[in-house]
Structure 1
């Protein structure tokens, strides 16, 4: 079980090196992160985009890209399609967003001919290392799906469970977050959480997955809070995955962890045949590196499972 980002980086270094296709790689922040990950032996990059601009950025920042595969695609749509097609044809293992709109890249990912479409829903999974929590904490979905229904939540949860399994978590503990623990038809999130718990009890998410809900945030992460409120659950205070009811809840918790709890982070899009790495310009260098390592570990896991 990977308990922190240092262990994640080491795991990515020790496994078979995964090949990363970077769509529109002429992005300074992304290129620095990718080259750093390559220097650490985490990935082998394939840089797709405006090659002259990529070389110009590399020279400006003292980066050596001479040993990397470079594919010239000046059109952003073509850069996205080429990057995704490399993964779908087995010439790369996962894909990363560079200087390109997320919508363009995801359109290529979902393309019926060259894409990475599956029966699942695409969803965003963040992983946080907070000083006040005893292990890595997964949060989904605070980045893509706005107000998912029960069926969508089940797919979002399945995606995050696969990410957790890739990180070596044998028994995955899930908290379906709500504002209170009692089921109320006036709060649809509690109804959905209760149904997801029933699905978990029936083994629909796997034998080694425990789904709890409805459950509030304090009980999910604090054994002391659960004790005080007499909430008896194996998940309480030992949650691996926080499943949020809406994008606003996930976005708020995630930013609170980053800016108020000094948590390190990594993010990935799941639900495709291979992980998709998206980083923000606001992300730290460490967060970008963590995200690449996360994608690499998940890509390696998918190859053997």
Structure 2
């Protein structure tokens, strides 16, 4: 809790100085862009503003100058100070990642509590970025201020998805059977993956509708293979067949109902099952969370029994390995964090945890039952006295049933502003299962997840 105390006008002495260090981070540049409306790409961390092929991430000069006001308002003279004027001369530049120091020095006292300060901001090595002079009205009486009710900010950036895409782009693109990409969003997602060299799409569906969608997007698909299969059921079957023929290494859902595609994937004869139960996994980038979050199963297994849950957990752990998690922490969710014989999901969770301890589930740390709060929040886990390597740190959340998983994932998406990519695991190849409501980032991330998993298992 920050406490700020001032120096009233009658106690100010010429020569008094104060300073405050500040690390300039990328989020500062985004916050300034939103607050000011200045969207100059020279200041946006990932944009190339001058066409030289790399982002500049130059800190806006006015943002740097604003650091002076923090010293005047917080330290010298401190709380109660009001600006009258500020001159500025910008003599250098700063970038995201630079550590800056804002400094002020009292040089004159005048009438009506007016105080004049030399002001400047410099790099750690003393090189100045901005300098000038401020005239302020200093406070008349001593006072202090406790900053305990200032709301925090979470910048809605999806850095975890950006990292996945950066990891996947150097990999060879995976041949992907895209089933019924007959709408702008479904075709656009496949083309976006193609542009980022994540997938090489084979477009299966009604050729006229696919071409019309491409025209609506302003996209040229003349270099892509199109298989004209106007019936959705037949197109789904053809997508699965391409995997068996060795012509595709992944399947991607287009503009058709999920059950039509899954019907052909799960068939015992001619499908893509490999002995393990198929399960859907949301890979989620949640603002404010310092790691990816996997949520399963939200789309396939309606009321999974214990045997199915074993496969759901193992599928999620296997995918987490492909995404760079060496020993993912798996939280088995229920309404409560204690075993209650009246709540079946708590019994399943306890059994799954013990199965992992005995090596029947491999590659991750598994614990449960855990309620949602103590699965992801360490303070909540500590408050409830839960001693666990998973509680408060879960990277994978196993929902007790599809309804719970689906609601959880959509709450994170539409309330917490998370991005969610989706894949189906347990098949011979990754199955990219996007929702019609997914935006471009989610579709691109799904392609990246599929590419990373395909690379790890060597298909």
TM-score range, shorter chain: over 0.9
Match of 1:114 in 2: 270
Correspondence for 2:432? 277
Which residue, out of 253, 257, 274, partners 1:101?
257
Match of 1:243 among 356, 376, 398: 398
Is the contact made by 2:236 and 2:260 (CA closer than 8 Å) also made in structure 1?
yes
Structure 2 residue aligned with 1:92, among 248, 260, 268? 248
Confirm whether residue 172 of structure 1 aligns to residue 355 of structure 2.
Answer: no
Aligned match for 2:382, one of 220, 227, 233: 227
1:209 to 356, 359, 364: 364
Matched, 1:16 2:172: yes
1:112 to 1:182, Cα distance in 2 relative to 1, 3 A: closer
Would you say the 8 A contact 2:334–2:399 is kept in 1?
Answer: yes
Paired position in structure 1 for 2:67: none
Is 2:142 the partner of 1:142? no
- Highest RCO, 1 vs 2 (Cα 8 Å, sep ≥ 6): 1
SS in 2 for 1:227: helix
Q: Is the 8 A contact 1:34 1:45 kept in 2?
A: yes
TM-score, length-scaled by structure 2: 0.63
Is residue 258 from structure 1 mapped to residue 400 from structure 2 by the alignment?
no
For 1:266 and 1:181, locate their aligned partners in 2 and report how far apart those are by CA, in whole Å.
Answer: 28
CA positional deviation for 1:39: 1.1
Match of 2:446 in 1: 291
Contact 1:125 1:267 in 2 (8 A): yes
- Listed one character per residue, the Cα deviations across residues 142-165 of structure 1 (whole Å, up to 9, x for unaligned) are 222121111111111111111111
SS in 1 for 2:275: coil
Give the TM-score normalised by the residue count of structure 1. Answer: 0.94
Distance 1:151 1:111 in 2: 19
1:189-204 matches, cutoff 5 A:
189-204=345-360
**Contact 1:176/1:244, CA 8 A, preserved across alignment:** yes
* SS of match in other structure, 2:320: helix
The Cα shift of 1:86 comes to 1.0
Name the SS for the 2:255 alignment partner. Answer: coil
State the number of aligned residues. Answer: 301
- 1:274–1:302: 8 Å Cα contact kept in structure 2? no
- SS of 1:65's equivalent in the other structure is coil
Inter-partner Cα distance in structure 1 for 2:270 and 2:221 = 27
Corresponding residue number in structure 2 for 1:162: 318
Distance 1:187 1:169 in 2: 31
The answer as to whether partners of 2:171 and 2:451 remain within 8 angstroms in 1 is no
Q: Measure how far apart 1:68 and its partner are.
A: 0.9
Shift of 1:111: 3.1
| C-alpha contact (below 8 Å) 2:255/2:436 kept by paired residues | no
- 1:67-86, Cα deviation, whole Å (9 max, x unpaired): 11111112222211111111
Give unpaired runs (5+ residues) of structure 1: none
Q: Note the C-alpha offset of 1:113.
A: 4.0
Tell me the secondary structure at the aligned position of residue 14 of structure 1: coil
CA distance in 2, matches of 1:130, 1:178: 21
What is the RMSD computed on CA atoms of the aligned residues? 1.5
Correspondent of 2:423 among 268, 278, 288: 268
Larger Rg: 2
Give the structure 1 partner of residue 91 of structure 2: none
Deviation beyond 6 Å, 4+ runs, structure 1: none
Q: What secondary structure is seen at the aligned counterpart in 2 of 1:191?
A: helix
- Distance in 2 (CA, whole Å) between partners of 1:217 and 1:292 is 28
Report if aligned partners of 1:181, 1:214 keep a CA contact under 8 Å in 2. yes
In structure 1, the partner of 2:150 is none
Per-residue CA shift, 1:113-141, capped at 9, x if unaligned? 43211211121100111112110000011
Equivalent residue, structure 1, for 2:192: 36
| The one of 277, 280, 287 aligned to 1:124 | 280
Q: Looking at secondary structure, tell me which structure has more strand per residue.
A: 2
Aligned mates of 1:153, 1:110 — CA distance in 2 = 17
Q: Secondary structure at the match of 2:227?
A: strand
Establish whether residue 79 from structure 1 lines up as the match of residue 235 from structure 2.
yes
